[in-house]
Chain A
Amino acid sequence: MQNRLDTYSPGTMLLGAMLCGLAGIVLAVHLALSTPWLGLTLQAQPGQAGLLVRHSTGPAAAVPAGTRLMALEGPAPSSEATPSRRMALQAVDLIEEPDLLPTYAEVAELLARQSALGQLLNSGEPLRLHILHAETGRADVVQALPEATPLTSLPGVFWSLQLYGLCAILLGCWVWALRPRDWGARAFGLTGFMLFVSASAAAVYASRELALDGGLFRMLSMVNHAGATLFGCALIMLFMAYPRMLLPARWLALPFVVYLPWLALDSFHMLPSPFWGSSLIYASQTLIAVALALFQWRHTRHNPVQRAALRWMSLSTFTGCALFIISMALPHLVGEMPMSQSAAFGFFMLMYAGLAMGVRQYRLFALDEWAFRILLYVLGAIALLALDALFLFVLHLNAAISLSLALVITGFAYLPLRNLLWGRLVNRQALDQGQLFRAVLDVTLAPTRTLQAERWLGLLQTMFTPLDISALPPAQAPAEPEIREQGLALALPPDAGQPALQLSYPWRGRGLFGPTHLQQARELLALRQDTQASRAAFERGVAHERRRIAQDLHDDVGAMLLTSLHQPDMGQVHQTLRSTIAEIRSIVSGLSGETPSLAEALAGMRYEAGQRLDAAGVALQWQEPPLPDAALDYRIAKNLSSALREMLSNTLRHAQAKAVRIALRLEQNMLHMEISDDGKGMDAATQTAGHGLRNVQRRMADIGGQAITHSSAAGVCVHLSLPLPSVPPSRLPAQSPT
Chain B
Amino acid sequence: MNGANTTPPSQPIHPATGIVVEDMPATREWLAQALRQAFPGIGIHTAATVEQARTCLKGHASRHHQASVLALIDLRLPDGSGLDIVRLCDRQGIVPVVTSIYDDDASLFEALEAGAQGYLLKDHPLPQLVHYLHRIGQGEPPLSPSIARRILASLRGQPEEGARAVGDSQGLTPREAEVLRHIGQGLRVSDVAHALSLTEHTVAGYVKNIYRKLNISSRAQAALEAARRQLL
Q: Which residues of A contact B (CB under 8 A)?
A: 574, 577-578, 581-582, 585, 588-589, 592, 599-600, 602-607, 610-611, 614-615, 620, 622, 734-738
B150 within 8 A of A: yes
State the CA gap A614–B186 with chains docked (Å). 14
Inter-chain contact B105/A592, CB cutoff 8 Å:
yes
State the CA gap A604–B146 with chains docked (Å). 7
Q: Which residues of B contact A (CB under 8 A)?
A: 101-106, 123-125, 127-128, 131, 144-146, 149-150, 152-153, 156, 181, 184-188, 191
Chain A residues whose CB sits within 8 angstroms of the CB of B184 once the complex forms: 603, 734-735
Inter-chain contact A734/B186, CB cutoff 8 Å:
no
Additional A-B contacts beyond A615-B125, A735-B156 (17; CB < 8 A): A585-B102, A592-B105, A599-B185, A600-B145, A600-B146, A603-B146, A604-B144, A604-B146, A604-B186, A606-B145, A606-B186, A607-B145, A614-B128, A615-B127, A734-B149, A734-B184, A735-B181
Chain A residues whose CB sits within 8 angstroms of the CB of B128 once the complex forms: 611, 614-615
Q: How far is the CB of A329 from chain B (nearest CB, A)?
A: 90
Q: How far is the CB of B147 from chain A (nearest CB, A)?
A: 10
Inter-chain contact A578/B186, CB cutoff 8 Å:
no
Q: How far is the CB of A247 from chain B (nearest CB, A)?
A: 82
- The residue in B101, B144, B150, B188 that gathers the most chain A C-beta atoms within 10 A of its C-beta is B188
Closest to B148 in A: A603
Inter-chain contact A588/B104, CB cutoff 8 Å:
yes
Closest to B149 in A: A737
Interface pairs (9), CB distance under 8 Å: A581-B123, A592-B104, A600-B145, A607-B144, A610-B191, A611-B188, A615-B127, A620-B188, A736-B152
* Number of A-B pairs, beta carbon distance below 8 Å: 76
State the CA gap A606–B149 with chains docked (Å). 15
- The residue in B104, B146, B191 that gathers the most chain A C-beta atoms within 10 A of its C-beta is B146
State the CA gap A607–B182 with chains docked (Å). 11
Inter-chain contact B153/A735, CB cutoff 8 Å:
yes
Closest to A615 in B: B128
6 closest Cβ pairs, A-B complex: A606-B186, A603-B186, A615-B128, A603-B145, A581-B123, A607-B186
Given the contacts A615-B128, A737-B105, A737-B153, A610 and B123 also touching, CB distance less than 8 Å: no
Chain B residues whose CB sits within 8 angstroms of the CB of A607 once the complex forms: 144-145, 186, 188
Q: How far is the CB of B119 from chain A (nearest CB, A)?
A: 13
Chain B residues whose CB sits within 8 angstroms of the CB of A585 once the complex forms: 102-104
Inter-chain contact A614/B188, CB cutoff 8 Å:
yes
State the CA gap A589–B107 with chains docked (Å). 12
Chain A residues whose CB sits within 8 angstroms of the CB of B150 once the complex forms: 737-738
State the CA gap A585–B107 with chains docked (Å). 13
Among B101, B104, B106, B149, which residue has its beta carbon within 8 angstroms of that of A735? B149
Among A578, A605, A736, which residue has its beta carbon within 8 angstroms of that of B125? A578
Inter-chain contact B101/A581, CB cutoff 8 Å:
yes
Q: How far is the CB of A10 from chain B (nearest CB, A)?
A: 59
State the CA gap A529–B125 with chains docked (Å). 55
Chain B residues whose CB sits within 8 angstroms of the CB of A738 once the complex forms: 150, 153
Chain A residues whose CB sits within 8 angstroms of the CB of B123 once the complex forms: 577-578, 581-582
Among B127, B146, B191, which residue has its beta carbon within 8 angstroms of that of A737? B146
- The residue in A610, A611, A735 that gathers the most chain B C-beta atoms within 10 A of its C-beta is A735
Q: How far is the CB of A731 from chain B (nearest CB, A)?
A: 13
State the CA gap A602–B153 with chains docked (Å). 19
Given the contacts A585-B103, A589-B104, A735 and B152 also touching, CB distance less than 8 Å: yes
- The residue in A574, A603, A606, A620 that gathers the most chain B C-beta atoms within 10 A of its C-beta is A603
Closest to A592 in B: B104
State the CA gap A604–B145 with chains docked (Å). 6
Chain B residues whose CB sits within 8 angstroms of the CB of A599 once the complex forms: 185
Inter-chain contact B144/A600, CB cutoff 8 Å:
no
Chain B residues whose CB sits within 8 angstroms of the CB of A734 once the complex forms: 149, 184-185
Given the contacts A585-B103, A592-B104, A602 and B186 also touching, CB distance less than 8 Å: yes
Chain B residues whose CB sits within 8 angstroms of the CB of A592 once the complex forms: 104-106
Chain B residues whose CB sits within 8 angstroms of the CB of A578 once the complex forms: 123-125
Closest to A605 in B: B186
Q: How far is the CB of A539 from chain B (nearest CB, A)?
A: 25
Closest to A577 in B: B123
State the CA gap A436–B144 with chains docked (Å). 48
State the CA gap A602–B102 with chains docked (Å). 20
Q: How far is the CB of B47 from chain A (nearest CB, A)?
A: 24
Given the contacts A600-B145, A737-B146, A606 and B187 also touching, CB distance less than 8 Å: yes
Inter-chain contact A603/B185, CB cutoff 8 Å:
yes
State the CA gap A602–B187 with chains docked (Å). 11
State the CA gap A614–B188 with chains docked (Å). 10
State the CA gap A622–B102 with chains docked (Å). 26
Among A574, A581, A589, A622, which residue has its beta carbon within 8 angstroms of that of B186? A622
Chain A residues whose CB sits within 8 angstroms of the CB of B103 once the complex forms: 585
State the CA gap A588–B187 with chains docked (Å). 23
Chain A residues whose CB sits within 8 angstroms of the CB of B144 once the complex forms: 604, 607
State the CA gap A614–B146 with chains docked (Å). 19
Closest to B145 in A: A603
State the CA gap A406–B181 with chains docked (Å). 84
State the CA gap A176–B16 with chains docked (Å). 99
Among A588, A615, A736, which residue has its beta carbon within 8 angstroms of that of B124? A615
State the CA gap A395–B184 with chains docked (Å). 88
Chain B residues whose CB sits within 8 angstroms of the CB of A611 once the complex forms: 128, 188
Inter-chain contact A615/B131, CB cutoff 8 Å:
yes
Chain B residues whose CB sits within 8 angstroms of the CB of A736 once the complex forms: 149, 152-153
State the CA gap A585–B150 with chains docked (Å). 18
Closest to A589 in B: B104
Chain A residues whose CB sits within 8 angstroms of the CB of B131 once the complex forms: 614-615
Closest to A737 in B: B149
Q: How far is the CB of B102 from chain A (nearest CB, A)?
A: 8
Chain A residues whose CB sits within 8 angstroms of the CB of B185 once the complex forms: 599, 603, 606, 734
State the CA gap A599–B150 with chains docked (Å). 15
- The residue in B105, B131, B145, B150 that gathers the most chain A C-beta atoms within 10 A of its C-beta is B145
Q: How far is the CB of B135 from chain A (nearest CB, A)?
A: 11
State the CA gap A60–B181 with chains docked (Å). 116
State the CA gap A581–B101 with chains docked (Å). 8
Q: How far is the CB of A58 from chain B (nearest CB, A)?
A: 83
